[in-house]
Amino acid sequence: MRAVPLLEVDDVSKRFGGIVALDGISLDVGAGEIVGLIGPNGAGKTTAFNVITRLSAPDSGDVRFDGETLLRTRPNAVVRRGIARTFQNVELFRGLTVAENVRVGAHARRGEHSVDDVIYYVGISSVRHRLADGLPYGTQKRVELARALASSPRLILLDEPAGGLNHEEVEDLGAFLRRFRTDFDVTILLVEHHMGLVMGLADRVHVLDFGRKIAEGTPREVQADPAVIQAYLGTAA
Amino acid sequence: MIVVAFTWAEFAEQVAAGLASGAVYASLALALVLIFRTTGAINFAQGEMATFTTFIAWSLMNHGLGFWAAFPIVLVIAFVGGIGIERTLMRPFERGPVVSAAIVTLGLALVLNGLMSVIWGGADRTFNGGFSTRTVKIAGAHISIQYIGMVAVLFVLVALLAVFFRFTKVGLALRAASLNPDSSRLVGIRVGWMFALGWGLAAVVGAIAGLMIAPIESLGPDMMQVILLYAFAAAVLGGLDSPVGAVVGGLLLGLVITLLGRYVGYVGQTLKLPVALLLILALLVVRPGGLFGRVAARRV
């Protein structure tokens, strides 16, 4: 029996008009874990992130962080509870410099790591005075990660951190995330399409398909699950 | 083209006068840019808001306060008023079409104009400013202390705003909120209040413009109407999203209009405005984003 998980999503449903984006999803993330959230396109992964970070309110169910509901926390107060995220399509402040982007990250919550430390740690010191606009995509993703880290989160949600990265960058990312979980004492929930990365990195994986959770387990268990194989490869004839 | 008798001393005096009125256009343009940048709205009420606060200053001075004693009080009232307007009138249109917000500001301008007539009457009044109207002799030219003061106030204002936006936490948060509201919420910024703060600052900057121009124009409910046109022209000239552009555009416009009116015979006092606007039009054909603005590039 595990202790109370850091994050619990409890029977959450969310519909947009006639489309059921999340259909009674439950999942949990324990403190210090790296948990993967995978599933085909449209499975509801990003919607789940939006519900957890309060950009989107669920129709039913509860989201608890550290045993307490998040649903009464306003979006701008989520970061104070210790949750930060990155976006699938990189949502930087384009008119601000790299250093300013990271400084904004520390707006509401400043931890033991200074903005300069974070910039150095993520490896973007050389571009710190450049505008975030126009940097290579991989670098922009690092800036976004640095912005999230600047608030010293206890839980960080990464939406497709490997998306748009080349093979070498993905390998670096895997090593980086493992190192940074220890260095920053942070829990990671990541949505990712890059199976190599998820399977090598995650302690546990939750699999979504059409808004439902179809499997949960270690990467090895999930990979062997017939329901998962069917979701990814289509119905067997 | 007839050039009237020319002396360098008089030219310098004209330049000073042009820069002084330009400083007022620049301040009001800066107010427009502040609101446009933070909320994406065009504030047609900026002129009446400035006139309204100038009337408040007039009333305070009528009750025995000096200009510089009334000055900070009026700025605080403007700040609170600007925030109040955003939180009550503009907030419902925050996520709506830009046109709705613009129409609301037009309505606000009419309401404020009417209110001023009701409270203070429609007649023009004289307004004693904070600077002496005596002149100092600089290299043979007689330059009004008032003109020097007006330009100095603009530069102090610009410097304070630059420090605020660049070096303070709130200034940075305000810029972030205008660039990307969702990401701003996630880092803990109260985006709605940042929009309100933008309005408050714009109201303060506009109020300063009103207090500077009132001694030159006479104070009446319509005092800022033509000046608002100049300010729009200045803001567009500089690039509607660029504070530096608003300042350069305002000073340039004041200078060009004054010099055209004085030295180009057939332009004179009556045609200086259309000619200046024609010049801006010509510039915008060459540089659609204005002098300092960025042309929105769309990825296709």
| Residue A1, pLDDT above cutoff 60 | no
Sequence letter at residue B120? W
> Residues B31, B247: contact at Cβ < 8 Å?
no
Of the candidates B42, B50, B48, which has an alpha carbon nearest to the alpha carbon of residue B78? Answer: B50
- Length of chain A in terms of residues written: 237
The distance of B240 to chain A (nearest Cα, Å) reads 15
Interface of B with A (CB under 8 A): 169, 172-173, 175-176, 179-180, 182-191
> Residues A148, A118: contact at Cβ < 8 Å?
no
Please tell us whether the domain made up of A30-191+202-233 is placed in CATH 3.90.230.10. Answer: no
B41: Cβ contacts below 8 Å, ≥ 6 apart: B35, B90, B93, B98, B101, B102, B105
Whole-number percent of chain B with pLDDT over 70: 96
B12: Cβ contacts below 8 Å, ≥ 6 apart: B138, B139, B140, B141, B143
Alpha-carbon span A157 to A4, nearest angstrom:
19
Global pTM? 0.88
Q: What is the pLDDT of residues B15-39, one digit of tens each?
A: 999 999 999 999 999 999 999 988 8
Chain B contacts of A84, Cβ < 8 Å? Answer: 186-187
Domain boundaries, chain B: 17-227
- Length of chain B in terms of residues written: 300
pLDDT at position B281: 86
pLDDT at position B261: 85
The distance of B27 to chain A (nearest Cα, Å) reads 23
- Beta pairing, strands B135-138 & A7-16: unpaired
Interface touch A108/B188, C-beta < 8 Å: yes
| Residue B166, pLDDT above cutoff 60 | yes
Q: How confident is the model at residue B260 (pLDDT cuts 50, 70, 90)?
A: confident
Q: How confident is the model at residue B239 (pLDDT cuts 50, 70, 90)?
A: confident
Interface touch A79/B188, C-beta < 8 Å: yes
pLDDT at position B81: 97
The distance of B36 to chain A (nearest Cα, Å) reads 15
Average of per-residue pLDDT across B155-169: 94
pLDDT at position B296: 58
Interface touch A93/B176, C-beta < 8 Å: yes
Interface test with A, best of B170, B186, B242 (most A CBs within 10 A): B186
Structure tokens at A211: 């808004």
Q: What is the pLDDT of residues A82-109, one digit of tens each?
A: 999 999 888 999 889 999 999 999 998 7
| Residue B1, pLDDT above cutoff 60 | no
Domain boundaries, chain A: 30-191+202-233
B246: Cβ contacts below 8 Å, ≥ 6 apart: B26, B29, B30, B32, B33, B234, B235, B238
User: Which chain A residue has its CA at the smallest distance from B190's CA?
Assistant: A76
Interface touch A96/B183, C-beta < 8 Å: no
| Residue B4, pLDDT above cutoff 70 | no
Assembly ipTM: 0.86
Interface test with A, best of B165, B183, B190, B194 (most A CBs within 10 A): B183
Q: How confident is the model at residue A30 (pLDDT cuts 50, 70, 90)?
A: very high
Interface touch B187/A104, C-beta < 8 Å: yes
Alpha-carbon span A146 to A157, nearest angstrom:
13
Of A84, A96, A106, the CB nearest to B179: A96
User: Which chain A residue has its CA at the smallest distance from B170's CA?
Assistant: A107
| Residue A22, pLDDT above cutoff 90 | yes
Alpha-carbon span B275 to B264, nearest angstrom:
11
Alpha-carbon span A96 to A103, nearest angstrom:
10
Of B180, B182, B189, the CB nearest to A107: B189
Torsion, Cα B275 B280 B282 B284, to 10 degrees, reads -160
Chain A contacts of B186, Cβ < 8 Å? Answer: 53, 55, 75-76, 78-79, 84-85
Please return the burial class of A198, using the count of CB atoms within 10 Å of its CB with bins 0-12, 13-18 and 19+: buried
pLDDT at position A237: 45
| Residue B267, pLDDT above cutoff 80 | no
